[in-house]
Amino acid sequence: MSETSSPSTDNQSRVEPTNLENQLTQLSTQLAQIQQQLTQLQNLPEQVSQIQQQLLRVADVYRYEKLQSFLEAGKWSEADTETIHLIISLTEQPELELIRPEDIQHISCSELQVLDRLWAKYSNNRFGFGIQAKFYQELGGSLESTIEQDSKLIQQWGKRLGWYKDGKWLKCRDLDYSLNAPEGCHPSRWWNSPYGSKMTNYFLARLINCDLK
């Protein structure tokens, strides 16, 4: 009996560890699944944020739809006025007169880039905030000169854009609202702020900081 029982004992000793290994493997798999689920839960706020950003981009499409329509039709004067409305909405102020130079610092660079890309696209790169900022810097303008509010530099810049002629600033109604206008001439009405040169310099500084050129 002792001789026949010994192979049976050896077989059990081989089977039991195998079952234990299987159980450990299953537990390891379940643990990995639980960890994966926890990771997904941890990433949930990020996923929600991404969805919110996508919804905002969809909303932006509607926000700029009117401007795009004017630009596509070559209605430069109407597009110029619509640009003012968009900037007012971006500053969350009810009207132009209430926008302070300090409010400009809070306009998102991405929003300004959208405005610039639309103007540049439909004008064959003749118009837009980017080319206006580029011309300012080509004349020697910088963040430092916006802080100093260099009036002579602003006059040179205005002459380059077709806004300043014979020693005086032209009225917006007297500008050429066609592709024959000087490069960078539009958008133009926005620059005619109640805050004058202070707003001009603040806005130029924002364009430079947003790398629009």
Say yes or no to pLDDT of 20 above 70. no
**H or E, element range at 165:** strand 164-165
Residue 145 neighbours by CB distance under 10 Å: 20
Q: What's the one-letter identity of residue 170?
A: L
Provide the 8-state DSSP code for 170. Answer: P
Average pLDDT, the chain: 84
Report the alpha-carbon distance of residue 76 to residue 172 in Å, rounded. Answer: 12
Task: Specify the pLDDT at position 40.
Answer: 67
Higher pLDDT, 213 or 94: 94
CB neighbour class for 155 (10 Å; exposed up to 12, middle 13-18, buried from 19): middle
pLDDT tens for each residue of 185-197: 999 999 988 888 9
